[in-house]
Chain A
Amino acid sequence: MTSSGTANRLMRSNRRAAVAWLHSHLFNSHINTVLTLVTVTGLFFVLRSLLLWAFTEAQWSVVPANFRLLMVGTYPIGEMWRIWLGVVGFSLVTGFQWGRARRTRLWVLTTFVVAAAVALLIIHTGTIAGTFGPIAVAAIYLGYLVGWFARPSNVLLVLIWASFFLGFIILLGADLGAGGVSSTLWGGLLLTLLISIVAILASFPLGIVLAIMRTSKLPIVSMLATIYIELIRGVPLLVVLFIAQLFVPLFFPSFFVPKILRAMIGISLFQAAYIAENVRGGLQAVGKGQTEAARGLGLNSFQTLWLIVLPQALRVVIPANVGQFIQLFKETSLVSVVGLTDLLGIGNVIVANPNWSGLYKEIFLTIALIYGFFSYAMSSASYALERRLKTD
């Protein structure tokens, strides 16, 4: 009796709160009421046709049927173990980092990982994914345990990541007796991620050097950097990419530079100019007193820059730079125009296949979703990093 009375009262107060919320958020003036009604009607029709299309008309089977193409492009099936080995290595290092931080709640990790393994096993029993999937899951735990007890330094962790990445790229193409895998066969999400990571790693230091050059007191050095930055920022990435494809072989006639590397060079040189402008903002935000104090302590100009100015400047520009890296990640899709089969390029290949003709919406929406997932992950990581580096 009393409990049902309490429940009633609770319900009534909830209802009152809901009505109050509706009133203040949707119907607080005549204009807003009209606006709400019009929007709800429009939204209803749009959502209805969208859902009808997605659940009745759309042929989503095109996505699982071409899943491998979307992920790795035309990478030969017989060599897939190389990529899976990379996945295992990635799991190991990721687990290692999580274990080192000792912060991740193990049960979250467990449920997530076990669910992933079960899903993989059910879908891919007997395939290479069914073999390597559970190994990758085990690698996360192994890495977690090692990281938990070893607690390596920051430098060691960076070294481990760097060597993993380098080893993976070598493994992707290396000739292991039975012939290597030509870089023209790399594609899909694999290629998109590869180009993005290389371009980020290359353009960041280059951008810092350009920013330092531009703020330099030496007029010629500063002028050269300014010309480079403004020239690059005045032309489209597509033009730079095309010129890289066209000119690199002309510039270096005695070397063979693969198409992928040319694209990486183009994107890195382009993005470095934008990174440089962000970093310059950070350099200018560091007070002059910092430099003077450092010189007063007897540091030379390189030490002042490396130990005092740069750490402060880079911290200020993290949000801007991560924004730039997200932009870079999205703009790697332009390599599909110069003939590489990255995620978008492979999408164009799939829709050109007569078996799947006309399924543009399904394929391109899936591709957009994958890009969106990574962009969102990057921006979330940036927020986390910002919070951790906040000193005040």
Chain B
Amino acid sequence: MSKHSTDKIPFYRNAKILPALTQAAVLLAIVAGGLLLLWNVKRGMEAQDLDTSFHFLGRPAGFRISEGLPFSPEDSYLKAFGVGLYNTFRATVFGILLATVLGVIAGTARLSSNWLVNRIAFTYIEIIRNTPLLVQLVFWYFAVVLQLPNVRDAITIGPIFFSQRGLAIPALRAPILFWGTCLLGLIASFLIWLWVKRRSVEGERTRLALWLVAANLALFGLIAYLIFRTSLSISLPELGTFRVTGGSTLSPEFTALLAALIFYFGAFIAEVIRGGIMAVPKGQWEAGQALGLHYLEVLRIIILPQALRIIIPPLGNVYLNLTKASSLAVAIGFPDLFGLSVTIGSQSGYSVQVMLMVLASYLLLTLTVAGLMILLNRNVQVKTR
């Protein structure tokens, strides 16, 4: 009797069948639920006479876009979406670069032995991190940028003007081929850097690589300058009565968005950098100094390589958050990817498709940033053979 019962384990207690059964049940529940929801969506769209295709993207948009690439109301929805993507990309790239600069400065200040500098950096970081980014963004736009004097009385710092119309900076006017040559030079420099670094084991050829990169950049710069010498010009902004002429003008919206992103994420980057440098044991400093190295040499040769290994992963997270946070621009009317998509969706009625495109675009953007950070991370991690 007892032998019989051990032979035949009931299926709901069988360790081989049970997991498969559970998984099948979970999958079934999710697929069924998903199909039900999708069916509801489809029925809802049919009730509004909308199809489920993407053909509407070819129709003319019929609205204007205040900045970004040139765009007229006759252009298609797809092009409007592209302009939004471009604006988001622009805000993200400049945001990441400048926030990193501010973050490094504030992080260094936070590590300073100067009490006053240290406290100021601490206050900045705490104030920024304890208030919402959206409140800061709205503050920057309404309470700072739009309250600046009008163009006639613009605040002037050298060739840079701050006014209600945004920020005017000098610009280099050059044909597109000039920029192409410069980009080529940058790529070549990057390849040279990788090539030299790959042939070294523990970074002993850093100085050689730096020289080669500098020489390469100078070479490309000289070539580009010599070829396009005649068509290059520097355009300085000049104050008119109502608007700024010449130079490049950042719109008030873009200025406020950049300021908010830079100051907000700069504080987070400062904390990441401080954490990374503090995480290197104190003995490393002392050992470096005992070897007779100068303070800056200890920092460059011993501390920074170790700190970078700790800093890069959380830094990547901050960059990802910045990329996503650029969508808040919609609150101040900057035509970014999300803002324009809302307009496209409400104007065409095809919100469902547009939102799917938005999801895909943001995933693509964040995956790109994450991928670049993984590459960078691989470059600084300890290399073992």
Contact = CB atoms under 8 A, between A and B. Distances in A.
B183 interface: no
A242 B355 contact: yes
- Interface residues of B toward A: which range? 35 or more
A257 interface: no
A28 interface: yes
B346 to A, nearest CB: 10
Given A220-B23, A250-B41, A236 B355 contact: no
Given A26-B116, A220-B26, A330-B133, A235 B363 contact: yes
Interface stretch (B161-169, B226-234, B327-335): B327-335
Interface string A287-331: 000000000000000000000000000000000000000100011
A20 interface: no
A24 B44 CA distance: 71
Contact of A234 (B116, B120, B327, B366): B366
Interface string A166-206: 00000000000000000000000000000000000000000
B114 A35 contact: yes
A211 interface: no
A334 B328 contact: yes
A221 interface: yes
Contact of B359 (A235, A348, A364): A235
Interface stretch (A64-72, A130-138, A258-266, A368-376): A368-376
A360 B139 contact: yes
A104 to B, nearest CB: 26
A32 B351 CA distance: 58
B19 interface: yes
Contacts of A333: 132, 134-135
B342 interface: yes
Contact of A26 (B45, B115, B130): B115
Nearest to A361: B143
A221 to B, nearest CB: 6
B127 interface: yes
Interface in B111-163: 112-117, 120, 127, 129-136, 138-139, 142-143, 147
A236 B338 contact: yes
B245 interface: no
Contacts, number: 147
A363 B19 CA distance: 57
B115 A360 contact: no
A40 to B, nearest CB: 7
Nearest to B131: A368
Nearest to B325: A236
Nearest to B324: A236
B37 interface: yes
A7 interface: no
Contacts of B112: 32, 35
Contacts of A239: 327, 338, 355, 358-359, 362
B129 to A, nearest CB: 8
Contacts of B66: none
A121 interface: no
A63 interface: no
B134 A337 contact: yes
A39 interface: yes
A275 B362 CA distance: 21
B293 interface: no
B22 interface: yes
A36 interface: yes
Contacts of B120: 39, 43
A348 B135 CA distance: 10
B43 A236 contact: no
Contact of A218 (B22, B351, B355, B359): B22
A334 B114 CA distance: 38
Interface residues of A, number: 53
Given A40-B116, A221-B23, A235-B359, A246 B143 contact: no
Counting chain A CB atoms within 10 Å of each CB, which of B132, B142, B331 scores highest?
Answer: B132
B27 interface: yes
B345 to A, nearest CB: 8
Contacts of A83: none
Nearest to A33: B114
B382 interface: no
A365 B112 CA distance: 29
Interface in A214-261: 217-221, 224, 231, 233-239, 242-243, 246-247, 249-253
Given A242-B342, A348-B138, A360 B147 contact: yes
B40 interface: yes
Nearest to A367: B135
Contact of A375 (B41, B114, B130, B142): B130
Contacts of A361: 139, 143, 147
Contacts of B113: 25, 28, 32
Contacts of B19: 217-218
Nearest to A323: B129
Contacts of B45: 250
A344 interface: yes
Contacts of A40: 116
B26 A221 contact: yes
Contacts of B142: 351, 360, 364
A371 B132 CA distance: 7
Interface string A32-59: 1001100110010000000000000000
B177 interface: no
Interface in B334-381: 338, 342, 351-352, 355, 358-359, 362-363, 366-367
A336 interface: yes
Contact of B136 (A43, A234, A253, A368): A368
A26 to B, nearest CB: 6
Given A252-B40, A337-B330, A236 B131 contact: no
Contacts of B127: 372
B30 interface: yes
A238 B115 CA distance: 40
B115 A334 contact: no
Nearest to A343: B135
Nearest to A246: B351
A165 B6 CA distance: 52
A69 to B, nearest CB: 16
A39 B116 CA distance: 8
A43 B134 CA distance: 27
A372 B131 contact: yes
Interface in B19-60: 19, 22-23, 26-27, 30, 37, 40-41, 43-45
Contacts of B114: 25-26, 32, 35-36, 39
11 contacts: A25-B115, A26-B116, A35-B116, A39-B117, A238-B327, A250-B352, A253-B40, A337-B328, A361-B147, A367-B135, A375-B129
Q: Which 6 A-B pairs have the closest CB atoms?
A: A25-B115, A236-B324, A360-B143, A330-B132, A236-B327, A375-B130
Given A221-B22, A367-B135, 5 more contacts: A32-B114, A35-B117, A251-B40, A344-B132, A375-B129
